[in-house]
Amino acid sequence: MDRNSRQIALYNGFDSISEPGRRPQPMFMRRTKTRRSRTALALSILCVLLLVWGWRSSGIGIILVGSRLSNMPLSHSPPITIAAPELASDAEAPLNPPSPINTTRMGLQKTNPAFHLLIPASESNPDLCKTVLSSFVLSYPSPTLMNYGKTFDGDNWDRGSHAGKIRGVFDFLNDKSKVKDDDLVLVVDGYDVWFQLPPEIMIRRYHKMIYEANDHLRRRYGMVTEGKPGDGTADRVQKYTQKVIFGADKICWPNPARDPACAAVPYSTLPKDVYGPETDKDKEGFHNRPRFLNSGNVIGPAADVRAIYQYAVRKVEEKGRRSIGDQFVFAEIFGEQEFQRETIHRDSQWTGRRFYDWVSNALGTSESPLSANITINNMTTIPGQRYEYSIGLDYESRLFQTMTHSAADVEFITYNSSAYLSSIQAAHPSLHGLPLFLPADLQTANAPFSYASPGNHTLDSSSSDKALLLPYSAALDTLPTGPHEPSWRTLPLATNIYAASIPSLLHINGDKSLLSTWWPKLWHHPYSRALLRQYIRYSQTPTVAAAAAKGGQTWWDNRGGRGGVWTDNGEWMAWGEACKGTEEAVFGDGKGVWGKEEGGRGGW
């Protein structure tokens, strides 16, 4: 099989490494073909054929049972929908953010929008510095710290800091001088998030997921007419669309189990047997598919993220609920959205559609728990209140890998050994031959070390830049080069082996001991000090200074800055100031205080 054929196969979810003449097998088609399953399959096919015949005559679309399109909900405002040609091949699509970002008529026409990384963090500590370092070496925009230096005096266990995160992020997004509506915003927790893949890959995956989700929602919920048919302004648009993606958790907390936040949200898009026969039946949650909102990671257009935070602020501050935090509130908003969608959908169904949903529920292929008539605490609907907020979840950990009850799902894998990959599969029988391979977007990505050194420029002892604040040091700056330079294939990458995905970031929100035991496993850890020095050194060159002045695509956040963090009140802190005294916890290399390793006086 040639390279292009293999990449097309990988993109479409097939294992391209098959025997000659053997038809490639889809990644998730691995259920045992028992007599009972064959009977159920035959019945489901018969029902689908009957429904297709009925719906074709009425002009109504049908969702195929078993579709792997992401069932992520969206808001009724105009959606971002990336044009299909741009998604034709992961391997061929540009890794750098497109300028302008091409969208369909239903999307946003953006010319070089900014990308903002927001991190709620009221103080610095080694865990925050690990988050920041991992973003630096991959060249994410310089983070802006929300609520930095602020103290909280609430009565609950966190003194109100979790509710304060909502107000801090909203106030920043509401400042139109800093953030434009079309800008892309990524908000992550400050003390337990590590970046693993570069921002270009995260953004491209985000666009692709949004495209898939919109396609699925159009099939499920259909179209509506907006405008007045009589005056020529009427337009057919999707009833529900998606623009914002949160992380997904295996358990619902701290919301009550029968509230919409827990009971009304869609099922995961992962296969029903992804963890074997105990899938979704584990009372402890370890073998449950993730389907509940996690508030620690969210990405989307600034205008849409701002609207969600504005509603959350009102929920917390205007209703006397200051003792609840961001996790409770955002899960509640998502639950309200899904409860309203499915209630309206169910009430508007005609007889054939109700029969289809009954069959789907009987066969276990229903997308919503509401089809099963489970007990759910009714939400109080307020006339005129907006419940559509473009929210969907990353069920397959393509962007965000949450860790609550999920540590056993993750293996640090190097992809240059087929024998090693086979041993991983052998150690997890429920994988049933699920292929593990380096995805196409990483096969064609720039080398891992290149993100800390734009232009592939390498400094050495003879460089004219050696007089900068961080002069070259063989003991501190030497990195493997040439044929010895690591690639994405030779570095250990945290992989969700059940979803067959390599997430862009890890959110260690479960077992906190992983914050210390897993940190040394990250691909950049052995080289962190050298990569950071190289990254910061480039903030001091004339070329970089000119690029920072231009802002935009080259520098993501239009304010520029490199090798430090912004606070939400506009102050700049260099790495040496923000992370002073964290060297051993962050680098673990015994080389001393940052900037003074060899008697230097630099404070970067």
Peptide bond before residue 141 is cis, with ω within 30 degrees of 0: no
- Calculate what percentage of the chain has a pLDDT beyond 90: 50
Q: What mean pLDDT value characterizes the chain?
A: 76
Using CA atoms, how far apart are residues 484 and 491, in angstroms rounded to an integer?
A: 12
Residue 58 in any domain: the answer is no
Q: What is the sign of the dihedral through the CA atoms of 195, 487, 205 and 568?
A: positive
Residue 14 has pLDDT above 50, yes or no: no
pLDDT at 426: 82
Strands lying side by side in the sheet with 115-120: 391-394, 244-249, 292-301, 184-188, 115-120, 144-146, 564-567, 572-574
Among 55-69, 186-200, 297-311, 503-517, the range scoring the smallest mean pLDDT is 55-69
Residue 160 has pLDDT above 70, yes or no: no
pLDDT at 539: 59
Asked if residue 322 and residue 182 are part of one domain, the reply reads: yes
pLDDT at 398: 98
Q: What are phi and psi of 389, to 5 degrees?
A: -130, 25
Instruction: For residues 231-255, give the mean pLDDT.
Output: 91
Asked if residue 90 and residue 21 are part of one domain, the reply reads: no
State both tokens at 188: 């992550």
pLDDT at 349: 60
Q: pLDDT (tens digit, 9 = 90+) per residue, 93-124?
A: 333 333 322 222 233 334 568 899 999 999 99
- Calculate the alpha carbon distances from 372 to 263, 266, 312, 349 in Å: 11, 12, 29, 15
Residue 55 in any domain: the answer is no
pLDDT at 455: 46
Using CA atoms, how far apart are residues 377 and 175, in angstroms rounded to an integer?
A: 37
Residue 200 in any domain: the answer is yes
Residue 502 has pLDDT above 80, yes or no: yes
Asked if residue 451 and residue 393 are part of one domain, the reply reads: no
Given a contact cutoff of 8 angstroms between Cβ atoms, the answer to whether 56 and 374 are in contact is: no
Among 217-231, 242-256, 474-488, the range scoring the smallest mean pLDDT is 217-231
Q: What are phi and psi of 357, to 5 degrees?
A: -65, -35
pLDDT at 406: 96
Residue 601 has pLDDT above 60, yes or no: no
Residue 463 in any domain: the answer is yes
Which tops the pLDDT comparison, 506 or 464?
506
Residue 72 in any domain: the answer is no
Task: Say how far residue 150 (Cα) sits from the centre of its chain.
Answer: 28
Which tops the pLDDT comparison, 347 or 265?
265
Asked if residue 433 and residue 395 are part of one domain, the reply reads: no
Residue 136 in any domain: the answer is yes
CATH of the domain at 170: 3.90.550
pLDDT at 132: 97
DSSP-assigned letters across all residues of 498-538? TTTB--SEEE--S-TTHHHHTGGGSTTGGGHHHHHHHHHHG
Given a contact cutoff of 8 angstroms between Cβ atoms, the answer to whether 15 and 27 are in contact is: yes
Asked if residue 465 and residue 324 are part of one domain, the reply reads: no
Maximal C-alpha separation, the chain: 81
Among 52-56, 64-68, 304-308, 548-552, the range scoring the smallest mean pLDDT is 64-68
Q: pLDDT (tens digit, 9 = 90+) per residue, 410-456?
A: 999 999 988 888 888 888 877 766 678 899 999 999 999 999 875 44
Residue 51 in any domain: the answer is no
Q: pLDDT (tens digit, 9 = 90+) per residue, 564-598?
A: 899 999 899 999 999 999 999 999 999 999 988 87
Instruction: For residues 376-394, give the mean pLDDT.
Output: 90
pLDDT at 424: 86
State both tokens at 347: 């009430």
Instruction: For residues 150-157, give the mean pLDDT.
Output: 68
Range of the domain at 539: 408-586
Task: Say how far residue 279 (Cα) sits from the centre of its chain.
Answer: 23
- Calculate the alpha carbon distances from 62 to 44, 59, 440 in Å: 14, 10, 31
Q: pLDDT (tens digit, 9 = 90+) per residue, 38-74?
A: 445 555 555 554 444 444 333 332 222 222 223 333 3
Among 78-82, 396-400, 468-472, the range scoring the smallest mean pLDDT is 78-82
- Calculate the alpha carbon distances from 385 to 291, 337, 359, 380 in Å: 25, 11, 34, 11
Q: Which of 538, 418, 531 is nearest to 485 (CA)?
A: 531
Asked if residue 394 and residue 419 are part of one domain, the reply reads: no
Which tops the pLDDT comparison, 538 or 487?
487
pLDDT at 291: 97
- pLDDT band at residue 35 using 50, 70 and 90 as cut-offs: very low
Asked if residue 220 and residue 116 are part of one domain, the reply reads: yes
Domain count, the chain: 3
Q: pLDDT (tens digit, 9 = 90+) per residue, 133-152?
A: 999 999 999 999 999 998 86
Asked if residue 180 and residue 96 are part of one domain, the reply reads: yes
Given a contact cutoff of 8 angstroms between Cβ atoms, the answer to whether 396 and 499 are in contact is: yes
pLDDT at 20: 35
Residue 365 has pLDDT above 60, yes or no: no
Using CA atoms, how far apart are residues 579 and 135, in angstroms rounded to an integer?
A: 14
Asked if residue 19 and residue 142 are part of one domain, the reply reads: no
Q: What are phi and psi of 330, to 5 degrees?
A: -70, -35
Instruction: For residues 300-306, give the mean pLDDT.
Output: 98
Residue 197 in any domain: the answer is yes
Among 125-129, 274-278, 289-293, the range scoring the smallest mean pLDDT is 274-278
Q: What is the DSSP letter of 143?
A: P
pLDDT at 17: 32
For the stretch 434-459, what's the b/e string if a residue is b when 16 or more beta carbons lie within 10 angstroms of its beta carbon? Answer: bbbbbbbbbbbbbebbebbbbeeeeb
Asked if residue 532 and residue 556 are part of one domain, the reply reads: yes
pLDDT at 378: 80
Using CA atoms, how far apart are residues 238 and 216, in angstroms rounded to an integer?
A: 11
Q: What pTM does this model have?
A: 0.78
Among 6-20, 163-177, 263-277, the range scoring the smallest mean pLDDT is 6-20
Instruction: For residues 168-189, give the mean pLDDT.
Output: 95
- Calculate the alpha carbon distances from 386 to 263, 308, 425, 436, 474 in Å: 20, 10, 46, 42, 59
Using CA atoms, how far apart are residues 245 and 350, in angstroms rounded to an integer?
A: 31
Instruction: For residues 17-38, give the mean pLDDT.
Output: 37
Owner of token pair 């044929």: 483
The set of residues, in sequence order, having a beta carbon less than 8 Å from that of 412 and lying 6+ positions away, is 492, 493, 494, 495, 521
State both tokens at 82: 């990336």
Given a contact cutoff of 8 angstroms between Cβ atoms, the answer to whether 28 and 434 are in contact is: yes
- pLDDT band at residue 125 using 50, 70 and 90 as cut-offs: very high
Using CA atoms, how far apart are residues 214 and 212, in angstroms rounded to an integer?
A: 6
Given a contact cutoff of 8 angstroms between Cβ atoms, the answer to whether 127 and 192 are in contact is: yes
Asked if residue 459 and residue 330 are part of one domain, the reply reads: no
Residue 8 has pLDDT above 60, yes or no: no
- Calculate what percentage of the chain has a pLDDT beyond 70: 66
- Which of 402, 433, 454 terminates a domain? The answer is 402
Owner of token pair 């209703």: 319
Asked if residue 553 and residue 527 are part of one domain, the reply reads: yes
Q: Which of 158, 102, 22, 28 is nearest to 433 (CA)?
A: 28
